[in-house]
Amino acid sequence: MKIISWNAHRLGNPRGIRVLCDLVKREVPDILFLQKTRLKTREFEVCKFKLGFPNCLVVDSVDRKGGLTLFWGGEISLSIINYPYCHIDVVVEDDSLKGRWPFTGIYRYPETSQRFKTWQLLRSLCRKNDEAWMVLGDFNKVLHHNEKYGGNPRPDWQLSAFRELVNDCALRDLGFQGNKFTWSNCRVGPHCICERLDRGMANSQWWSKYPSASVTHGLVAYSDHVPFWVNTEGDGGKIRSQRQFRFEEMWVGEQTCEDIIRATWRRGK
């Protein structure tokens, strides 16, 4: 099973939809979780068919702030628990006889003064009864100082608060393959700032079901966040689609494309 999560900043334009369609066509996810879409339910009706998903749950944006969407395929058995402002909580039925397990897609509160509520929310959702649980999305925080490049260091109290949440909920980071960072301010030189703000986490019960699970950080030129995906069977799982990477011609017209390439090249030296 493959699950993609992406903070698709400002998705509501034709170019953004094209980039999303290309991502789905290339990676063929079973479940797609989008954050910060800034779209309404009616605007996703057409998008659902373009992406090829028969099922869709939309949490409307408020004054063009936030907005969450969950797509899932016809072969996926999924039960919705609740879907307030900043998260979608569901139960996934795995056809490979690994049972049912809750999945929470999270997007931190957009208002700075309200972001402490994200930690309160996750503590309230925490599964305590030996139930497998996975959480992924945009947390807007880093766990360690080395998950940030450039700019001022994150305050220690922010890191401590995030770590306490992870410990209290008995979660473990799923790790990643690919570029170290998931967000960039798309600038170069001394003004470049990159952070790992998006991640997947799971408790030990989920890990026992999927010990080979892997996370891959993708690459797009459209958003300041990159998409990432969880493959529950890891690299050795069923490969539904293999395609060579191809540079998209439309990226040439992207103002930040060259800056992203230069910044990534410098970090790799």
Give the helix ranges, DSSP H, for the chain: 14-27, 41-51, 116-125, 156-168, 204-209, 257-268
* H or E, element range at 137: strand 134-138
Distance CA 93, CA 100 (A): 4
Per-residue confidence (pLDDT) for residue 45, from 0 to 100:
72
Per-residue confidence (pLDDT) for residue 241, from 0 to 100:
40
What is residue 21's DSSP assignment?
Answer: H
Q: Which residues pair with 203 in a beta bridge?
A: 171
Distance CA 214, CA 180 (A): 14
What is residue 153's DSSP assignment?
Answer: P
Per-residue confidence (pLDDT) for residue 179, from 0 to 100:
92
Q: What is the CATH number of the domain that holds 206?
A: 3.60.10.10
For residue 97, give the 3-state DSSP assignment. coil
Residue 246 C-alpha from the chain's centroid: 23
Distance CA 82, CA 249 (A): 40
Phi, psi of 81 (to 5 degrees): -95, -60
User: Which parts of the chain have pLDDT scores under 70?
Assistant: 10, 12, 63-65, 110-112, 235-269
Cα dist from 222 to 10, 67, 80, whole Å: 9, 18, 30
Burial class (CB in 10 A: 0-12, 13-18, 19+), 216: middle
> Which residues form the domain of 123?
2-268
Q: How many structural domains compose the chain?
A: 1
Q: Which residues pair with 137 in a beta bridge?
A: 106, 199
Per-residue confidence (pLDDT) for residue 256, from 0 to 100:
54
Per-residue confidence (pLDDT) for residue 239, from 0 to 100:
41
